[in-house]
Copies of this chain bind each other. A is one copy, B any other.
C-alpha cells in the first residue's frame, strides 16, 4: 500500500531537513504522488518553497561572514609601554563562543594575546614568528579576560613576549610569542 498522508508528511519533513535543495518535482517522484500533493503538504507543514529556503540559508551564511570578520584588534589595549609591557581587556560575548557550550573559541584568546604582543613592538611591520601557547582552562560567555604581556627579551629585530591571560586572578591562558620586524624602518 501507498503511504498515508501522515506518514508521507512525516518522511517529507525529514527529507527536506536532510536535503533542503529538493524541488517539489523530485520529491513527488520519490513518493510517487503528484506535484500538487507535495505542494499541499508543504503548505500544511509550513515548509517554504525551494527558493525561499535557499534565500534563508544564504542570509544566515552572510550574517555569519560578517560577524566572523573582525578587522579590529581583538581586545581593548588599556595600557601599553612599548617594548616593555601591555594590558588588554576582552569581555567574552556571544560571537566569541561555541554555540553549543558557551565556551570561548581558542583562537579568540589567541587573537587577544597575539594582537597585544604585536602592539608591543614599535615597528612599522611586526609579525608573529613562533608561538607556544597553553589554554589553561575554558573561558565562558561573559567572563572578562585580562591579558598581561611582558617583554622577556628584546633584540633589535625580534621581541620575545610572554602573555598571561586571567579571569579574576585565575590564569586561563598562557603564551610565548616571538615577534619579528620586517624591513628596517622604525616608528609607527
Q: B-contacting residues of A (Cβ < 8 Å)?
A: 20-21, 51, 53-62, 64, 67-72, 74, 93-96, 98-101, 103, 105-107, 110-111, 114-115, 118, 124-125, 127-135, 138, 182
Contact = CB atoms under 8 A, between A and B. Distances in A.
A54 B20 CA distance: 13
B133 A132 contact: yes
Contact of A20 (B51, B62, B100, B134): B62
22 contacts: A20-B58, A21-B59, A54-B58, A57-B57, A57-B61, A58-B58, A60-B70, A61-B61, A71-B99, A103-B127, A106-B131, A107-B115, A110-B110, A127-B138, A129-B134, A129-B135, A130-B132, A130-B133, A130-B134, A131-B134, A132-B132, A133-B133
